[in-house]
Amino acid sequence: MHNLMWSVPLVDLPFDAIWPICNALPAITLVRFQVVAPTLRKIVATLWPRLRAARGRTLRPSPNDGLRRLHNYEAAILYEEFGDTAWADRWLSGLIATQNTTAQWHAGPDAFGLELRGLGSRLLDLGSECQPEAATFRLSARASPVTAAALGYIVLSDASRRPCAWVYIEWQRDVVGIGTIAFWVNDTEVRLQDWPWGDSMLSVTFGIDWHSHELTGITVEGSAAAVGFADFHNASCQGVRHITLASFRGESAEVCWQSISLFPRAPDNYERCGYHRHLSLML
């Protein structure tokens, strides 16, 4: 397929001819074609439901940034948006003492991610241990200021359930009775001005250095603080096999985990064109 050229513009091809071409290309290649040929955007928007069904069933149906999200799905060890009806077959109910029988879990095509009202936990078993070098999460949370709250947990742990990363959102009163909201990355605290809810959703990114047993390059969008790095929660952690999502304390607690992703290396470093890099289309 090197230097292949169609004599007919792609936009003039019938749908049945366009589909196998687009479906054969990595998502990042389609992204680049959209940049040089804006007419392709309309084609991709039309194809998005079919691309998602064939190559990214766990993605949410929304076409917004669809190809970028599909690229993440194809490049990642795990890229989860909880956009399918089978999410509960992957994320099993956790056995925690604070499991609330009134907890309401909601995900699937009509949700914004994995939504939880109340207290409870879910566990994903990747099936084998891996050593991702980068992780990104997007989540929002809130609770009533009546009692202390600890919610929105994301815990990455190895086959022996030793965690390398342990992040969550906490609300409590300080020594003078003033309520504070903080986001914790292992033992490092990042103060927040308000609950990360709605448009104030948190985006969390960090690298994982398995040699030094550190989380590196930690950034928390939605906070003015720069975290930098943190030691592993458990220095003996050897990899990631289990991912736990949970809320342990809080009145009227609500959480939405919009996306959970693990990459073998930083996403910006990917070159996914492969043998398509010399492909030429008349758009």
For residues 210 and 112, what is the distance between their CA atoms, to the nearest angstrom?
A: 32
- What's CA 99's distance to the chain center, in Å? 24
CATH architecture of 78-267: Sandwich (2.60)
CB contact at 8 A, 172 and 268: no
| Count of residues in the chain | 283
Beta pairing class for 202-209 and 149-157: unpaired
Full pLDDT tens readout for the chain, 283 residues: 444 444 445 555 666 778 888 889 899 888 887 776 667 777 778 889 999 999 999 999 998 899 999 999 999 999 999 999 999 999 998 765 555 566 899 999 999 999 999 999 999 999 999 999 999 999 999 999 888 999 999 999 999 999 999 999 999 887 677 889 999 999 999 989 899 998 889 999 999 999 999 999 999 985 555 678 999 999 999 999 999 999 999 999 999 999 999 999 866 544 333 333 333 333 3
For residues 176 and 161, what is the distance between their CA atoms, to the nearest angstrom?
A: 37
Q: Token pair of 178, please?
A: 């003033």
CB under 8 Å to 243, separation ≥6 — which residues?
Answer: 78, 123, 124, 126, 154, 155, 156, 157, 260
243, burial (CB in 10 Å: exposed 0-12, middle 13-18, buried 19+): buried
pTM of the entire structure? 0.85
For residues 222 and 77, what is the distance between their CA atoms, to the nearest angstrom?
A: 26
For residues 127 and 139, what is the distance between their CA atoms, to the nearest angstrom?
A: 24
CB contact at 8 A, 140 and 200: yes
Q: In DSSP terms, which residues pair with 251 in a beta bridge?
A: 144
CB contact at 8 A, 247 and 255: yes
Give domain limits for the chain: 10-75, 78-267
Task: Give the amino acid at 85.
Answer: T
Considering only the C-alpha atoms of the chain, give the largest distance between any 2 of them, rounded to a whole number of Å: 74
